[in-house]
Amino acid sequence: MCAQPAPATPTTDGSRTVLDARDISRALTRISHEILERNRGAADLVLLGIPSRGVPLAQRIAERMASVEGVHVPVGSLDVTMYRDDLRLKPARTLMPTDIPSGGIDGKTVVLVDDVLYSGRTIRAALDALTEVGRPKAVQLAVLVDRGHRELPIRADFVGKNLPTSLAERVRVSLEALDGVDSVAILETIKETGR
């Protein structure tokens, strides 16, 4: 059983911080150990982060695995923009890089890494994108936050924090590599955006 994070703290912008840097660090360490346990080590593992915040999360998980196993786990990124089913409903998105490690993914266990699991549509798009780059032996999913409200039958294998939310709330993940700070906050919002 994991330790409970500090109680939600209100911020100046009206959001509530529900995970701080220490909570995120512990969650990533636990996810790393769970991935290694489930796969009986790091052999034939490839981590693919979904841009933008899934990529630094995948890198941090790989670093923790290397410190435990003493083995480099390949890390890449998988852009899902062109595979989304909401392209015509939302403003144009910037294409992010897809970077598959040099060993490829054929016959490997691919762990997709993302920051927030919500409707499941981003992960459905990632599965479609994955078929364009190879044929993995298995695909697993690791997310920092699972906020519920699934629209597709998709479930994460490894979850940092289950965070029940209402449809009127939005989850904001900030990461040191991109935002200068590690935190997860809940914001009240009028318009709901799907992930």
In a domain, 8, yes or no: no
Structural domain includes residue 143 = yes
* Residue 27 contacts residue 19 (beta carbons within 8 Å): yes
Return the CATH number at 103. 3.40.50.2020
The residue among 142, 124, 91, 95 whose CA lies nearest residue 195 is 124
Give a yes or no: residue 14 inside a domain. Answer: no
Provide the residue range defining the domain that includes 147. Answer: 22-165
Question: Does 6 reside within a domain?
Answer: no
**Are the C-beta atoms of residues 152 and 141 closer than 8 Å to each other?**
no
Q: Cis link prior to 15 (omega < 30° from 0)?
A: no
State the alpha helices, DSSP H only, in the chain: 21-38, 54-69, 121-133, 176-179
Within a domain: 183 = no
Q: Give this prediction's pTM.
A: 0.88
- Could you tell me if residue 148 is inside a domain? yes
Give the pLDDT confidence score for residue 15 in this predicted structure. Answer: 86
pLDDT tens, the chain, 195 aa long = 444 444 555 555 678 999 999 999 999 999 999 999 999 999 999 999 999 999 999 999 999 999 999 999 999 999 999 998 877 777 667 888 899 999 999 999 999 999 999 999 999 999 999 999 999 999 999 999 999 999 999 999 999 999 999 999 999 999 999 999 999 999 987 554 445
Within a domain: residue 60? Answer: yes
How confident is the model at residue 5, as a pLDDT?
44
In a domain, residue 4? The reply is: no
The number of folded domains in the chain is 1
